[in-house]
Structure 1
């Protein structure tokens, strides 16, 4: 059998030792490696709704927080706080801004959620809205806490093309877990997704988030992040209300609509979840939008007041009835336009269904 040829040393004579090229001293006039330009804004990565937690070691889990999605931009010139839609809310979160200035970093973009906690330590969207003066209010919130769950830019480097596990490692070094500061870490929880969801629901939380550890940061709802809810919660347009002398703000029931293609469809009403303050603020907003005829067919309503479909209410509900109405609905608050509030879209029948 013929022997294979002996490999030759790469670019060397066999009898000479391998040596590297002599190092030259660095030319002081040579510029340093260029830094990545810091973006003015990054469209957020959004979580895709699923009914069950995913399986697999690549999935990391966190609590689903109920607040306003924000990006905190830290620069030598100062700190900016931007909403999901890109609106500047820096002046509305002074505590978060002050804490961001104390972080040991020169430039960074933190992705996270501004929340206000209730007495049980759960994020409460209604309390956050009240702290900001209600929908359209201009009040500053000193109660709000920013829960950071991602790091998109760090000390001159764009991290959006880096996998989540590396971004989280840097974030955990920048924002320590625990504490009482206005910026805190949204911690990953080592647990089976099904078990974690059950525990979250038992504690009255909104649900959990699952994130692919190997994914880069991609804007939009592409499935790298998933949300699994204990109860359904979505945005619906207010198209009117039924009067009641026995209820807060004289609101017996809100009349709601969802989108279906280019049209609006009535999906029932909600008569719970109000308190005196939220109902009073809501009534003021609705009374500015009163119209003579309903914008959508709500059926026969004897004591209804109809409004232009401009206000988006966040509604918590358990299920849908067979005729397309919300079941066990509860009002949570009004969504802000600056938060890129989304109106629930009903599925349209496909060609094969018709």
Structure 2
């Protein structure tokens, strides 16, 4: 015969009507392990897109528009907001609208990755307008019209997300920056389309190109291939090694003489005489005249007259269609001067570029 259960010596509730009370909190043992939050990193090296001639195939690839602006990382903390350039320089004061919008986001701490842009009348990002809003090369103006097109979330409320796959990071980002907004921080939306189709449409609408991202990839700095860029129009940074003086051109600058790096040396890659407006030409002339030298920094045999040579300290952003057979830029157009604080690198060309 089984025995009945023993009556507990201390009932769970002495008085059924008495309120429940929690156990008194004990002082924490300093040697006891605890769940730690990830510290906010001072800076994360940006993931950079690898240039490819055509979009990749496969369901793992997500596609976005390629924005033409300045790469920024926005660090949000209770003590304030920091906006860092790709090179790690603090430009918080130069983007006040973006900084103000970041403070209003529904979170405590975060790191947003994105591109600061200024749009033209057709809604396309325009690098020249962005530079003008900032006061040009070395300018100190603040750009109230700049918009951050946010495309990644690297840190959120005490958690480092760089080891998380892109799909999860994007899901969290969309909860913070919803699509369709008109604020100073907007979502760079993924576009549900075949890569080839999207690339064709982007080029037809005069966009710079598209970006392809591996949905399953984690976030790591550098050009590892997880992100790829496919450009309708090629562009790059080229050193200004001189200019052709012209009495009939804005600022008396008829054309800029350009150079790129090849096998560790600067080589002449042609000239550009279109794309800059009157005020840009005047600023260029003033900057170049401070860098005059008597001998060119490159081998030159172009036969142009009235040439003024300069030290290769200024880096111009140039759009171009292709390379000629003799290694010159085809149909180049001036877009603006790259700022040293934005990691103004001179393009490197391989043996296959222009022969």
Alignment of 1:282-301 (within 5 A): 282-299=284-301, 300-301=303-304
| 1: CA distance, partners of 2:130 / 2:124 | 12
Give 1:34's aligned residue.
36
| 1: CA distance, partners of 2:168 / 2:37 | 19
Alignment of 1:262-301 (within 5 A): 262-299=264-301, 300-301=303-304
Structure 1 runs (4+) deviating above 4 angstroms are 24-28
Give 1:337's aligned residue.
340
Tell me how far 1:26 sits from its aligned partner: 9.2
Name the CA shift for 1:55/1:288 in 2 (closer, same or farther; >3 Å).
same
| 2: CA distance, partners of 1:324 / 1:26 | 75
Contact 1:261 1:348 (8 Å CA) reproduced: no
What SS does the aligned partner of 1:302 have?
coil
What SS does the aligned partner of 1:36 have?
coil
Give 1:46's aligned residue.
48
Tell me how far 1:25 sits from its aligned partner: 11
Tell me how far 1:281 sits from its aligned partner: 1.5
Tell me how far 1:29 sits from its aligned partner: 3.0
| 2: CA distance, partners of 1:45 / 1:314 | 21
300, 314, 318: which one aligns with 1:311 = 314
Tell me how far 1:177 sits from its aligned partner: 1.1
Contact 2:179 2:186 (8 Å CA) reproduced: yes
What SS does the aligned partner of 2:274 have?
coil
Alignment of 1:146-295 (within 5 A): 146-295=148-297
What SS does the aligned partner of 1:135 have?
coil
| 2: CA distance, partners of 1:333 / 1:294 | 22
What SS does the aligned partner of 1:347 have?
coil
| 1: CA distance, partners of 2:267 / 2:25 | 69
Give 2:67's aligned residue.
65
Q: Unaligned 5+ residue runs, structure 2? A: 1-22
Contact 1:71 1:81 (8 Å CA) reproduced: yes
| 1: CA distance, partners of 2:107 / 2:61 | 28
Q: How many residues are paired up?
A: 326
Contact 2:70 2:342 (8 Å CA) reproduced: yes
Q: Unaligned 5+ residue runs, structure 1? A: 1-23, 350-354
CA deviations on 1:148-202 (whole Å, 9 max, x unpaired) are: 0000000000000000000000000011112221000000000000000000001
Contact 1:116 1:125 (8 Å CA) reproduced: yes
Contact 1:71 1:111 (8 Å CA) reproduced: yes
What SS does the aligned partner of 2:325 have?
coil
Alignment of 1:125-136 (within 5 A): 125-136=127-138
| Coordinate RMSD, CA, aligned | 1.6
Contact 1:48 1:221 (8 Å CA) reproduced: yes
| 2: CA distance, partners of 1:46 / 1:73 | 19
TM superposition score normalised by structure 1: 0.90
Residue range with higher mean Cα deviation, 158-167 or 269-278: 269-278
Give 2:323's aligned residue.
320
| 2: CA distance, partners of 1:43 / 1:180 | 28
Tell me how far 1:54 sits from its aligned partner: 0.2
CA deviations on 1:310-351 (whole Å, 9 max, x unpaired) are: 1111111111111111111111111111111221112158xx
Give 1:111's aligned residue.
113
| 1: CA distance, partners of 2:158 / 2:26 | 23
| 2: CA distance, partners of 1:328 / 1:208 | 21
Residue range with higher mean Cα deviation, 215-224 or 290-299: 290-299
TM superposition score normalised by structure 2: 0.89
What SS does the aligned partner of 2:297 have?
coil
| 2: CA distance, partners of 1:38 / 1:102 | 19
